[in-house]
Structure 1
C-alpha cells in the first residue's frame, strides 16, 4: 500500500512537472516563433514596449533592463546579507548560551513565515521615505529593493547557516581546542572552512529566493523598465513587470507572449540555482 502510494505520488509529480514545463516553454517561445521577436533583441535590447513594433516590424521586447535589475538586487542583497547571516549563525551555535538559541530559533522561524506583502508594506512605509529624505529623489529604486530583500532572505540564510555549522562534527572542535586554539581560531580556521559548502548553499538558496521574489520588490523598486543607472532611481525586475502586466494582457497576443518569455527566463534561472545547490550538496552530503 505504502509503495503504491509512493509510486502514485511520484508519477503525479512528474506529470505535473512536465505539464508546467511544456506550458512555460511553449508560451515563452511563442514571441519568437509567431510574433517575429528576436532573441538577441530580447536578451540585449534596452527598450520594453511589446505593444508596438520597431521600424523593421518586430515587437520591441528588450528585456535587458529587467534582467539587469533582477541580478543587481539579488547580488547586492546576498552581498550584504551573507556576512550578517553567517555571523548570526556562529553566535547561535558557538557563542550564545542554550537559552539564547531557544529564543532566537523561534524568532527566525517567525520571520521566515511573514508574508512578502508585509515586508513590501514595511519597505514602502519606512525604507522608501527614509531614502527619499536622506538622498533626495523618489526613494524608489534598487537600493530600496535591496534593503527589503536583504531583510527577507536573512532568516532563511541564517537558518541554513546554523544547520551547516551544527553539522560539523564535535571531534573537530575538540581536536582544535586540544591543539591550543582559541574559540575564535577554532571558528575561523576549522568551523567556517569545514562548513564552507553548506554556507555557500545557504547563500545560493537565499539568492534563489531573492531572484524570484515579486510582490515585495514591486512595491518598492519603482517598476520603470529602463536600464538602471543609479541605485536610487526607479528600476524594474523580471518579476515586477510580470506581476504588473499579466492581468492586463490578452492570452495569445504579443504583449502576453512577451511576458511569458520573461517567465521562461525566471524558470531557467530557478533551474540554475537548483542545479548549483544540488552540486554543492553532492560535494558535502552531510550538510
Structure 2
C-alpha cells in the first residue's frame, strides 16, 4: 500500500522530463542574454573611453572631417573626426538598398504571382547561390571587374562610393528578395480572389492589392538588407578606396566605419586613444544595428495592427 501511495504522489517520468527541458531552455536563454549584455558592455565601455578618458568632444567626433588619432590638430585636440566614415557608410548602404529594391520586388513578384512554379524553380537556386558566396569573393570580383569599369566610364581611380554600392547591391539583393517572397506568400489568398471577382486584371490586383498589403514586409526586407550592407566590411574595403576623406562625388575614394575598423584595429595598442577611437566607431555600428532592429519591430507591429 505504501508503495502504491509513493507512486501516486511522486513525479512521473514525463513531469521530470518537462522540468529538465524547461531548465535547459532557461539556461540557454540566460546564457544568450548574458552574451548579448557582455558584448554591449565591452563595446560601450571601450567606445565611451574616448569621451570620458581621453576627453574628446562627442560633437567634434561626429562632425569633424580629419581622421588621424595618432596626431593632434592645430587647436590641440586629437584628430578623430568620424564624419567621413559615417557619411561613407550611410551612402553605400542607402544607395545599394535603393538600387536593389526594384530588382528584388520584380524577382519576388515573378516567383510568387506571375510564374510561381517556374519562377521559383529558376530564381530560387540563383538566390541561394548569391547568399552562399563569401564576401571576399564579392570583393575580388568588384576589384577586378567593377572598379575597372567605373574607372573607364567615370574616370578617376575607380575606387569610391559607386563601386562599393554596386558590390553591396549584389550582396543585399538575395536578402531583400527572399524576405519579400515570404511577405508576398503571407498575403491572404482571398485578397487576390476578391480583386479578381471585382473585375480587376492580374496586374491591377498585384499593384492595387497585393503590393499595398505587403508594404510592411517590403519595408522590413529593405531594412534587413540595409543592416547587412551597413555591417559589411571586407567586400566594401576592397573597392571603396579606404581614404578617410569626406566624399564629394560617387567616384571619389572614401571609407566606411567597417573598413577603417578592419584596417586599423591591428595597428593600435589597447587602451590608447587610437584604439579607443576605433572602439567608438564600433559602438556607432552597434547602435545602428540596434536601431535597425528596433525599426523592424516597429514596422512589423504596425503591419500586424493593419491586418
Q: What is the TM-score of this pair, normalised by structure 1?
A: 0.97
Q: Secondary structure at the match of 2:271?
A: coil
Partner of 2:195: 176
The yes-or-no answer on 1:126 pairing with 2:145 is yes
Question: Does the Cα contact within 8 Å between 2:111 and 2:118 map onto a contact in 1?
Answer: no
Partner of 1:195: 214
Partner of 1:247: 266
Distance 1:54 1:97 in 2: 61
Question: Does the Cα contact within 8 Å between 1:36 and 1:59 map onto a contact in 2?
Answer: no
Partner of 1:66: 85
Distance 1:105 1:64 in 2: 39
Please, which moves more after superposition, 13-22 or 220-229? 13-22
**Residue among 264, 267, 270 paired with 2:289:** 270
Distance 2:74 2:54 in 1: 15
Question: Does the Cα contact within 8 Å between 2:138 and 2:235 map onto a contact in 1?
Answer: yes
1:174 is displaced (CA, Å) by 0.5
Q: CA RMSD in A?
A: 1.3
1:81 is displaced (CA, Å) by 0.8
Distance 2:59 2:155 in 1: 36
Distance 1:285 1:6 in 2: 28
Partner of 1:31: 50
Question: Does the Cα contact within 8 Å between 1:35 and 1:58 map onto a contact in 2?
Answer: no
Question: Does the Cα contact within 8 Å between 1:36 and 1:58 map onto a contact in 2?
Answer: no
**Residue among 90, 109, 125 paired with 2:109:** 90
Question: Does the Cα contact within 8 Å between 1:38 and 1:58 map onto a contact in 2?
Answer: no
**Residue among 105, 130, 134 paired with 1:115:** 134
Question: Does the Cα contact within 8 Å between 2:140 and 2:238 map onto a contact in 1?
Answer: yes
1:285 is displaced (CA, Å) by 4.1
Runs of 4+ in 1 over 3 A off after TM superposition: none
**Residue among 227, 230, 235 paired with 1:208:** 227
**Residue among 142, 145, 170 paired with 2:164:** 145
Task: Deviation per CA, 1:74-126: give whole Å up to 9, x if none.
Answer: 11111111111011101110112413312321321221121111111110010
Question: Does the Cα contact within 8 Å between 1:111 and 1:155 map onto a contact in 2?
Answer: yes
Task: Deviation per CA, 1:35-55: give whole Å up to 9, x if none.
Answer: 121111100001001001123
Partner of 1:75: 94
Distance 2:251 2:303 in 1: 40
Please, which moves more after superposition, 100-109 or 71-80? 100-109
Distance 1:97 1:281 in 2: 25
Q: 5+ residue gaps in structure 1? A: none
Task: Deviation per CA, 1:199-249: give whole Å up to 9, x if none.
Answer: 010011101111111000000000000110010010000000000000111
Question: Does the Cα contact within 8 Å between 1:48 and 1:61 map onto a contact in 2?
Answer: yes
Q: 5+ residue gaps in structure 2? A: 1-19
Please, which moves more after superposition, 229-238 or 49-58? 49-58
Q: Secondary structure at the match of 1:51?
A: strand
- Paired residues in the alignment total 287
Distance 1:156 1:260 in 2: 28
Q: Secondary structure at the match of 1:52?
A: strand
